[in-house]
Structure 1
Amino acid sequence: MQFRGDLPTPALLLDLDAFESNIATMAAHLRVRGKGFRPHGKTHKCPEVARALVAAGAIGCCAARLAEAEVFADHGIPGLLITTAVIGRDKIARAVTLAKRAPDTIFCVDDEANARDLNAAAQAAGVTVLVAIDLYFGRTGILPGAPALALARVIATLKNLTLMGLQSYDGDAAHTTPFDARKLRTDGSMAQAIETKAMLERDGIACPMITGGSTGTYRFDSENPGITELQPGSFVFMDLDYGRIGGADGPEYRDFKNALTVVTTVVSRPPGFAIVDGGYKAFSTDRPFTPRPVDLPGVTYGWAGDEHGRLNLADSPRELKVGDRLEFIPPHCDPTVNLYDSIYALRGDRVEAVWPIAARGKSQ
C-alpha cells in the first residue's frame, strides 16, 4: 500500500473525493435538464476517468484527435466524438478502421473535399461513417447558416456518410468574463447553431444533434432548449485558469472543486527561497500566471528552468526545509496532464489506484 508521502516527485495527484463530487455535480445538473452528457477526453486522456464518467451517465466521450479516440476505443469507451477533422489519406484510413470496430463514433467535418474523401474510403471499406458538421465560432469549422447548409446538402448525397448533427463548440466563450458576458457570448453562438439546424430541417435534412458547451458555459447551455448534449471537460479536475473566470456569486468560479495537484519536493533552500523539483516539465506554461501552492498563502512560485521552480518565502507562513513536499494547483489542467504517464488517485493520503494516462502524447 502506498501513501501520499511515498510517491516520487514530481507526480500528478487526484483527490478522488473532489473528483467524484465534480462528476456527480455535473451529471446531476445535466440529467435534471434532460441533456446528453459527452464530456471531453482531451482534459484527462485517461480511460479510467472516461469509465467513471460513463458510469455516472455519460453517453460517450469526446476526443480532440483521432489518436485519442483510438486509445479510448481500445479500452471499450463508447460514444466517441472526434472534434477535430480527420484530414489526409492515412488518417482517413485509420478513421474508417475505427468506424468498423466502433460504429457509433462520430467524425467532424467542415470541408466538402474532406467529406468526399471520407465517403470514398468508407465506401471502399463497406462501412457507414457518422459525421457532424463543425460550425465556426473562432477556431475550426464552417460558418453557420448558408455555408453549413450547403455542406449538409453535399453530405446528404454521400451514401456512406450519415449526418448526426452539428458540432457547436465556442472555445472562447468558456473563459469570457464576467459571468453575464459569458452568458451573452454562448447564447449568441448557440443561437446561430440552432438556426442552422432549423435551416437544415426546413431543407429536409435530419439534424438530431447539437453538441457543444464547456465547463465555463454549462449553466447557460444546459438551459437552452435547442442544445441536445454538452461536452465539458475541465470540470473533472479544475485548474487556476477556470478558477479566475468568475461565477454568479463573485470573481472566483466555485462550481467545481480543485481535484488535481502536482506534488513536488524542496530540493534546495537558498536564503529567502525554496527550490522545488517541478519546473517547465512538471506544469503547463501556456498561461500568464504560475502554479499556486496549496495551503501556503503568501508564497509565490516562479519558473526556475526545466526541472525547477523557485518559491519566494518573504511572506511564508511557515519555515520550509529540504525534503518538504509541496502540492500545487496547475495553471491549466489539460496540457499539465499530458506531461505525465499516470495519475495517482488518492483517498485521503492513501493511494487507491494508479491510472495510466494512456492517450498521453496522442496528438495525431
Structure 2
Amino acid sequence: MLFVTIILDGAGVGDGPDAEAYGDSGSDTLGHVCEAEHPHLPNLERLGLGRIAPLAGVEPADAPEASWGRLTERAAGKDSTTGHWALAGLVLETPFPTYPDGFPPEVVADFCQRAGVDGILGNVPASGTQIIAELGEEHQRTGQPIVYTSGDSVFQIAAHVETTPLAELYAMCETARNEVCVGEHAVGRVIARPFTGEPGAYTRISEKRKDYSLLPPEATVLDALQDAGVRTVAIGKISALFGGKGVDVETKTAGNADGVAKTLDAIREAAASGEPTFVWTNLVDFDELYGHRRDPEGYARALEAFDRALPDLEAALPPGARLLLTADHGNDPTYRGSDHTRERVPVLMLEKPASGETTPARGEDVGTRETFADHAATVAAFFDARWDGPGAPFA
C-alpha cells in the first residue's frame, strides 16, 4: 500500500472565508497566476484542476481522472508549520507569535548574550533576498548576524558562509530555538539562511537552509501511521516542520525538480519493497522563489515544469496507490506585500487502478471541505490506521 501527498507550497485557490481578518481579501494564487501568465497545464487539467475553480486556460475536464475539491483552513495562522500541522490533523486554536515591528529588545539582548555576538543587524520583517542585499556587506564587515522575520512566525538568521561558517550559524539557530524563542516567544520556526557571493551579487544557498520547528504538542497522523506499521517518508522541508516527530525517513531537497526526482525514487522503492508507505513531499520553490518574491511568471513556469513531471509520477505508482496534490496556504505572487495569503487549497487525488482492473480510474467531486484535517483522516483511512483526531475522509 502506498499513499503519496505532494504539497505545492503556497498554491492556494482563492481567499478563505476569514481572509479579511488576515488582510488577504481577494487573494487567489492559482487564479491570478493563470490569469496573468496562462500556463500550459494539460496534465493538471486532465486530472481535474479546472473543476476546482475557474482558471484561465485550464478547462474543466469532462471526466476528471482524479477526485477534486478544496480544503478550508481553520487553524489560527497562515504559515507553513500551521498549514502542515493542520494537514496532519493538528489544528491550532492559538496562533504562533508574530513580530510585525521586529523582535522586542529583551529577545534581542537574550539572543546576543546566549549566542555570543555583540549585536545583530536588521530585526525587521523583510524579504530574505532584499535584506541580505541591503545588509550583507555590513554583516561581513562587522560579523554581526542578520536577524529578521516576516508575516509568519519565524526567527530567521542569515549569514555569509565565509564570515560565519555553517556550523556556527546552525549553533546560533539551535540556541535561538532552545533557549531564546521559548514561552511567549515560541515562534513556529527558527530558520538558518546561509548565503554566499560578493556585495551586489549575494545568493542564498537554499540546499543549506535549515529549519528548527517546534515539536507538535500532540500526536499527528504521522504518529498514527507509525503505530499502524506504516513507513513514513518525508521529502523536502516536511520533517523539519514536525521536528522529525513521526518521520521514519527524512530526505532533503534542492528545489522542485530535485523534490520530484526524490519522490519518484521513494515511490519506486516502496513499490519494490511492498511495505506500507506514506510519502509526503513539499515542493518549496512555488512559495520561496516565486510567491514571496511576487514573480507570477516564474510561478507559471514552475507549474508547467511540475505538470510535465506528472506522467512520470503517475506511471511509477503501483496498482492501488494514491497520489494527492494539495497545498499548505496561499502565496499570491500578484498580491501586495511579500507574505503568505489566507486561502483555501486545492485537492486532486488520483487512485491507480488495482491489479487486474482495466477501467481507468475516474474522480469525483469531494466538495469544499471544512478543515485541512480531512487530509489526515483520508490518509489514515487508506491504511486502516486508527485516527481519533479531527477530519473526515474524502472517500
What's the TM-score, normalizing by structure 1? 0.30
What's the TM-score, normalizing by structure 2? 0.28
